[in-house]
Amino acid sequence: MNSTVKNKKLSDWITEVAGMCQPDSIYVCDGSREEYDGMVEKLVLSGSAIPLKKRPRSYLFLSDPSDVARVEDRTFISTSSQAEAGPTNNWLDPAALKETMKSLYRGCMKGRTMYVIPFSMGPIGSPISKIGVEITDSPYVVVNMHIMTRVSSSVLEILGTDGDFIPCLHSIGAPLEKGQKDVQWPCAPMESKYISHFPEENLIWSYGSGYGGNALLGKKCLALRIASAMARREGWLAEHMLILRLTDPDGKQYHIAAAFPSACGKTNLAMMQPSLKGWKCECIGDDIAWMKIASDGRLHAINPESGFFGVAPGTSYDTNPMAMDTIRENAIFTNCALTDDGDVWWEGMTGDLPSHLIDWKGRDWTPESKADAAHPNARFTAAASQCPVICKDWENPDGVPIDIFIFGGRRGSVVPLVYEAFSWEHGVFLGATAASETTSANIGAIGNLRRDPFAMKPFCGYNMGDYFQHWLDMGERLGSKAPRIFYVNWFRKNQDGKFLWPGFSDNSRVLKWMCERVDNKTGARKSPIGLLPLEGALDLSCLSMGSEDMRELMSVDTAEWKAEIPDIEAHFAMFGKRLPQRLRKQLKDFSERLG
């Protein structure tokens, strides 16, 4: 070991894991730039990382074709009873799961180095932050964790001899026999991948995948699944939400947290540059928000991460110029295509197609090729501090006070551009029934409607019925200081299948209306689904949008909404007795309003 670990729980755990996984060596990370550079250099020499001539200190990794995304089917919430995990999670008995995984872990790091990564989610030392330690045999994970979390030996100092941390054990599950040559992206077959969470003991065990959310355990595993269970016990919120600061032309600030399912443009909204003159938008986080009620009685949010692990395809100077500038240097790319002059490329990055590429599977690609050049879930990893519009308060340990919550999803029809909840309780109903059409970049067949409550279906570490109750309880505690709740749909289409709303920077028009609602500057019209903007209340200045299109975009067709009721009923029925009575009542009231 290259450093002395003074924390008893940590040194005992390292010894235990090393005994089980049998690595050739152990390395405790310090989070330094030299460490990062040294690791990347080794990854380049081994052929795992491709240095990009066109982007300073940036590298491309190509994964095994079987290891390209989070694997929901292999993700488990292992609580003592299945009821605690609830109907939206895969469950296995903890003792049985640990036995299975121990047999996989035995000897799984042979021929490899075992890295110990001490990290903080949230600013180091902040009272809202949590400390984790990831043990992994993947140097790719180490370099990504350097960007996505705060890896530092000062985390070990804060831990002292008896401080507590969340143990996150990860192995790619590909031991090397003596003399065996490594492959570019080692991992285990699908059936032996396990992404396991033990929320009752704040423990994460991941095996077999080296990709993203399966392997960078600070993100979805700790900051959402384990943290959501901790948040419920401790009375706060760990949510799948971007955080942004919007400033109006008079300098008044509004803080917005928004939950959309994966692949609905959270990173784009988080970094959006308003088309409205005089309005400013700054990014605080693009994926996860931890929120606590502060001494002012308001809900304050921090971004526990320190980087972005964004979807590359579709990201361009048109859709998200701030993300494009964030990744100009010091970036890691995974499963993007490689250009002949040593840059990355992906579908939607440029109007013109390159004449030749190496695709994410390492094959020659030309515009005639049938297959995508980049995988639809190809990713960039870059430090939040590199974002040109990162908010100066993004690392404020006290967080920012949230004024507005937004829920939403991708719906080609039925759901209007924006509406407001009647109350906190109605807002919880909107979050609990949120639904989105699946795309090629996420789960399920394209175009299926998937209910994804609060965009937390894959990330809630306990029974979602209890999660709904936790939101209702938080509303009680917040009282009149609770953020206002809105629902949006940027993706409604007309009869010809064309998007009705331009989206991106024009979404600022919708955010402006929300701010005006918060300040009681504009009224709203009541509809069965919620409060809609008054005619002409949305600022459409300098936007060429026909009034017919606008009417269609905002229309609420009672028959279409009635047709949604059986699906909502079936969705709620899953939770049985754990569904809060108040949500049952919300559904009844909604049906009655529809007539």
CB 334 within 8 A of CB 328: no
287 binds Mn ion (CB under 5 A): yes
Partner whose footprint covers residue 377, from Mn ion, ligand O2Y, none (CB < 5 to 8 Å by kind):
ligand O2Y
Which is closer to Mn ion, CB of 171 or CB of 335?
335
Q: Which of residues 242-281 bind Mn ion (CB under 5 A)?
A: none
286 binds Mn ion (CB under 5 A): no
CB 469 within 8 A of CB 389: no
212 binds ligand O2Y (CB under 6 A): yes
Q: Which token pair is 210? A: 């080296």
CB 94 within 8 A of CB 79: yes
238 binds ligand O2Y (CB under 6 A): no
Find tokens 């331009």 and name the residue: 502
Q: Which of residues 284-323 bind ligand O2Y (CB under 6 A)?
A: 287, 309
Backbone phi and psi for residue 290, each to the nearest 5 degrees, phi listed first? -110, 125
208 binds ligand O2Y (CB under 6 A): no
Find tokens 């990382």 and name the residue: 49
452 binds Mn ion (CB under 5 A): no
Which is closer to ligand O2Y, CB of 141 or CB of 587?
141
Q: Which of 168, 264, 391, 460 is catalytic?
A: 264
70 binds ligand O2Y (CB under 6 A): yes
Q: Which of residues 387-416 bind ligand O2Y (CB under 6 A)?
A: none
Partner whose footprint covers residue 309, from ligand O2Y, Mn ion, none (CB < 5 to 8 Å by kind):
ligand O2Y
Partner whose footprint covers residue 7, from ligand O2Y, Mn ion, none (CB < 5 to 8 Å by kind):
none
Q: CA 34 to CA 319: how far, in whole Å? A: 34
CB 293 within 8 A of CB 348: no
Q: CA 335 to CA 238: how far, in whole Å? A: 29
420 binds Mn ion (CB under 5 A): no
CA nearest neighbour of 295 among 568, 481, 42, 34: 481
Binding region for ligand O2Y (CB under 6 A) out of 52-60, 208-216, 252-260, 326-334: 208-216
Which is closer to ligand O2Y, CB of 70 or CB of 298?
70
239 binds Mn ion (CB under 5 A): no
Which is closer to ligand O2Y, CB of 228 or CB of 262?
262
88 binds ligand O2Y (CB under 6 A): no
Q: CA 428 to CA 421: how far, in whole Å? A: 9
Which is closer to Mn ion, CB of 305 or CB of 564?
305
137 binds ligand O2Y (CB under 6 A): no
13 binds ligand O2Y (CB under 6 A): no
391 is catalytic: no
CB 218 within 8 A of CB 119: yes
454 binds ligand O2Y (CB under 6 A): no
262 binds ligand O2Y (CB under 6 A): yes
Size of the site for ligand O2Y (CB under 6 A): 10
CB contact set of 330 (below 8 Å; sequence gap of 6+): 56, 57, 58, 382, 383, 386
Q: Which token pair is 506? A: 């024009």
* Residue 6: count of CB within 10 angstroms of its CB: 14
The C-alpha angle with vertex 76 and arms to 71 and 80, in degrees rounded to 5, equals 180
Instruction: Look at residue 84 and give its three-state secondary structure.
Output: helix
Q: Which of 205, 211, 429, 468 binds ligand O2Y (CB under 6 A)?
A: 211
Residue 355 Cα to chain centre, angstroms: 34
How far is the first Cα of the chain from the last one, in angstroms, to the nearest whole number? Answer: 69
Distances in whole angstroms, Cα of residue 593 to Cα of each of 277, 526, 564: 38, 11, 14
Q: Which of residues 352-391 bind ligand O2Y (CB under 6 A)?
A: 377
Least spacing, CB of residue 341 vs ligand O2Y, in Å: 28
Residues in touch with Mn ion (CB under 5 A): 287
Residues in touch with ligand O2Y (CB under 6 A): 69-70, 211-214, 262, 287, 309, 377
- Residue positions annotated with a catalytic role: 264
